[in-house]
Amino acid sequence: MKQTHAYKYRLYPTDEQKHTLARTFGCVRFVYNWALRKKTDAFSNEHQRLSYKDLSAMLPQVKKQEASTWLSEVSSVPLQQALRHLDKAFLNFFEGRAKYPRFKKKRQRQSATYTANAFIWRHGFLTLAKMQDPLDIRWSRPLPEGAIPSSVTITKDRADRYFASILVEEEMAHLSSNEQVIGADLGLTSFVVLSDGEIVGNPRFFHKDEKKLAKAQRRHARKQKGSRNREKARLKVARLHARIADRRRDFLHKLSTRLIRENQVVCVESLAVKNMLKNGKLSKAISDVGWSEFVTQLGYKADWYGRTLVKIDTWYPSSKRCFACGHVLDALPLEIRRWDCPQCGVHHDRDVNAAKNIVAAGQAVLACGEAVRPERVPSRSGKPPRSRKPSR
């Protein structure tokens, strides 16, 4: 079965190409913000919804205006794609997947998308519209043999690094099936504890560079606004953030790929990370660990390779439930890492026990096709308690 995949590579454009890309980024940002303002004002003032076709028809008139004739100096394809991206952003907003679209800023990540009629792909060289020479691309891995790019997105991050994301269609071969089923308990002390007893430590990438980052941010704050020294200091801060993000992403990709390749079924908990971030004492550590990104990677890689990802109900008491007899504790504070079951006497490691319960619940979901809900434990007063998130 053919699927569309994006391959991302580092770019090293020449000074002339940087100038062309900078103008394109600026025009794309202008068109996106102009269209967002048009859509917002039309709905607020006239209760009218402007579609992509309406905005696309208005764009040529904007290019003819004296104040924005410079829009014609760049390729028209990235400008049209900016309108499509805004249309997609509103669709995500109305369907509850994202917040209301925001205006793009010059200091944020910049991007421009070129479709097949706006670039030349020949013998492994990529040349964009309005450019004479091909881009210098660091081919960290080869594209699939015979692949023809359908679109190319050029991005510039806040650390002034350029990347090309090349979209191609390729045939995905599913991995050979096996009988391995694994449960993964995500945590902070250890990033993940697997049901087979393996423990993967938490690298804490942000924590390791936190002092360097704080020092760089203080230096940036002391520089005069608008000066070149302030821009240099800003770049150092951005590079530290990029270093942290790159290392975390690399770690998550390697671990998620290994779990998907080695196991036919992977079972994890559905964590309400947004709610957990409201904990002031743990919010920084939760943001650093990257649970949401890890589960997302497991999901799409399972689809790629013919594996199964099972998400257990958020309220399932994986830590408080005895894997041996099924007894559920009334409470289990976070500081207690090992406990003895009061009913059968089995000694449990908190995280390993949780991972075993997760894999058992995942197998039950696969066998019965049901959502696994937590047992209701009577309170001290004898009354059934209200549903709440169990302690982890």
What is residue 63's three-state secondary structure?
A: helix
Q: Is the pLDDT of residue 231 over 80?
A: yes
Mean pLDDT confidence for 190-198: 91
Average pLDDT over the chain, rounded to whole? 90
Give the integer Cα–Cα distance in Å for 106 and 88.
21
Q: Is the pLDDT of residue 326 over 90?
A: no
Q: Is the pLDDT of residue 13 over 80?
A: yes
List, in order, residues 6 or more apart from 272 with CB less than 8 Å away. Answer: 314, 389
Give the integer Cα–Cα distance in Å for 140 and 9.
7
Burial of 237 (0-12, 13-18, 19+ CB in 10 A): buried
Give the integer Cα–Cα distance in Å for 238 and 160.
9
Rg, the chain, Cα only:
26
- Helix-helix angle 15-46:76-94, to 10 degrees: 40
Q: Is the pLDDT of residue 391 over 50?
A: no
Instruction: State the pLDDT at residue 36.
Output: 97
Which active-site residues does the annotation give? 185, 269, 351
Q: Are 161 and 173 in contact (CB under 8 A)?
A: no
Per-residue model confidence as pLDDT tens digits over 237-280: 999 999 999 999 999 999 999 999 999 999 998 888 888 888 88
Per-residue model confidence as pLDDT tens digits over 330-361: 888 888 888 888 888 889 888 888 899 999 88
Give the integer Cα–Cα distance in Å for 37 and 61.
16
In the structure, what pLDDT confidence band is assigned to residue 388 with cuts at 50, 70 and 90? very low
Mean pLDDT confidence for 176-191: 90
Instruction: State the pLDDT at residue 336.
Output: 85
- In the chain, the N- to C-terminal Cα span, in Å, equals 40
- What are the domain boundaries of the chain? 2-171, 181-368
Instruction: State the pLDDT at residue 390.
Output: 41
Q: Is the pLDDT of residue 392 over 70?
A: no
Per-residue model confidence as pLDDT tens digits over 84-93: 999 999 999 9
Q: Are 140 and 134 in contact (CB under 8 A)?
A: no
CA 255 to chain centre: 15
With tokens 């007063």, the residue in question is: 381
Give the integer Cα–Cα distance in Å for 373 and 317.
9
**Above pLDDT 70, what percent of the chain?**
94
Helices (H), 5-160: 15-46, 52-64, 76-94
Mean pLDDT confidence for 121-128: 93
Instruction: State the pLDDT at residue 379.
Output: 45
With tokens 């689809």, the residue in question is: 303
Per-residue model confidence as pLDDT tens digits over 31-85: 999 999 999 999 999 889 999 999 999 999 999 999 999 999 999 999 999 999 9
